[in-house]
């Protein structure tokens, strides 16, 4: 996922804003002194997405529930498919609850916090989306107390730092997959019980034959890097398209 830039006194630029985020601003003890985070704010913000960025370290668990595919374009990224229609996440209810017993991707759990790069890209700062419904004016779960960050913010910083590190590892994984020309365009054509036909396209998958044809040198290198298992999880996840179709029927 691309980083945003922000200065120490304002918000990140509006262009190319990451999904879900509307007005991320660097956390400031004065600017955000009266804000708290709701205890159970739900996932309303994710109701209108059909795909969610997923780090390679999440493939093992995400592949049990969702198809994992790769985006197209220069900046290839893995995403979990959570819907078959634009503007619809089949795993978030009208009340904002994520479907019980289904994995919630880290990208979703990170919100409303995010690490943002400084203008010169030399450092990262913790930001919060000021337009997030989860933010309220109260002192129940404050972001700051007596001008200092609370444990809630420290935990968010640790989570976002780990997410950023894993996103960088995912970027390296995707670059290697692309360099070996393993990705091929794909689409999913599904038919609902009502007879309606839906087509989901604009994504790529790893060609299993090309993967199996990797040289021993590359394969052994990838095994050392821990990249072989995620590829198998990705291939296995294709079986989850049927589950998506069933959810459309139930919706």
pLDDT in tens, 130-142: 999 999 998 889 9
Structure tokens at 238: 């294709």
Tell the residue number behind the tokens 């394969």, with chain if given: 219
Distance between CA atoms of residues 155 and 162, nearest Å = 11
Q: What percent of the chain has pLDDT over 90?
A: 74
Is the pLDDT assigned to residue 12 strictly greater than 60? Answer: no
Alpha carbon distance 52, 49 (integer Å): 7
Label residue 249 by pLDDT band (50, 70, 90).
low
pLDDT band at 250 (very low <50, low <70, confident <90, very high): low
Task: Report pLDDT for 15.
Answer: 44
Report residue 34 as tokens: 């009266």
Query: What does the pLDDT read at residue 10?
Result: 38
The rounded distance, in Å, linking the Cα atoms of 1 and 98 is 23
Report the phi/psi class of residue 127: left, alpha or beta, with left for phi > 0 and alpha for psi in -120 to 50: beta
Nearest to 46 by CA among 67, 21, 15, 68: 21
Q: Give residue 17's pLDDT band: very low, low, confident or very high (50, 70, 90).
A: confident
CA distances from 155 to 126, 143, 150, 151, 159 (A): 11, 11, 9, 6, 6
Does the pLDDT value for residue 102 go beyond 80? Answer: yes
Query: Contact at 8 Å (CB) between 158 and 147?
Result: no
Mean pLDDT value across residues 51-59: 97
pLDDT band at residue 149, thresholds of 50, 70 and 90? very high
Domain ranges of the chain: 24-250
């Amino acid at each position: 996922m691309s980083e945003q830039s922000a200065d120490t006194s304002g918000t990140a630029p509006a262009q190319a804003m990451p999904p879900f985020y509307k007005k991320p601003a660097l956390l400031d003890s004065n600017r955000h002194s009266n804000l708290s985070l709701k205890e159970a704010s739900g996932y309303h913000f994710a109701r209108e997405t059909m795909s969610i960025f997923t780090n390679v370290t999440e493939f093992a668990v995400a592949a049990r529930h969702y198809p994992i595919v790769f985006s197209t374009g220069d900046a290839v990224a893995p995403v979990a498919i959570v819907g078959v229609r634009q503007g619809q996440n089949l795993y978030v209810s009208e009340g904002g609850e994520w479907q019980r017993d289904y994995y919630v991707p880290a990208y979703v759990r990170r919100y409303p916090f995010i690490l943002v790069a400084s203008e010169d890209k030399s450092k990262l700062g913790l930001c919060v989306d000021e337009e997030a419904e989860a933010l309220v004016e109260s002192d129940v779960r404050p972001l700051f107390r007596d001008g200092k960050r609370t444990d809630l913010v420290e935990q968010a910083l640790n989570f976002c730092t780990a997410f950023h590190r894993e996103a960088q590892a995912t970027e390296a994984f995707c670059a290697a997959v692309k360099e070996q020309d393993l990705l091929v365009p794909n689409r999913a054509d599904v038919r609902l019980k009502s007879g309606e036909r839906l087509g989901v396209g604009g994504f790529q998958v790893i060609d299993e034959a090309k993967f199996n044809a990797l040289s021993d040198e590359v394969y052994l290198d990838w095994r050392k890097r821990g990249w072989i298992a995620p590829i198998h999880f990705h291939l296995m996840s294709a079986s989850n398209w049927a589950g998506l179709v069933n959810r459309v029927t139930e919706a």
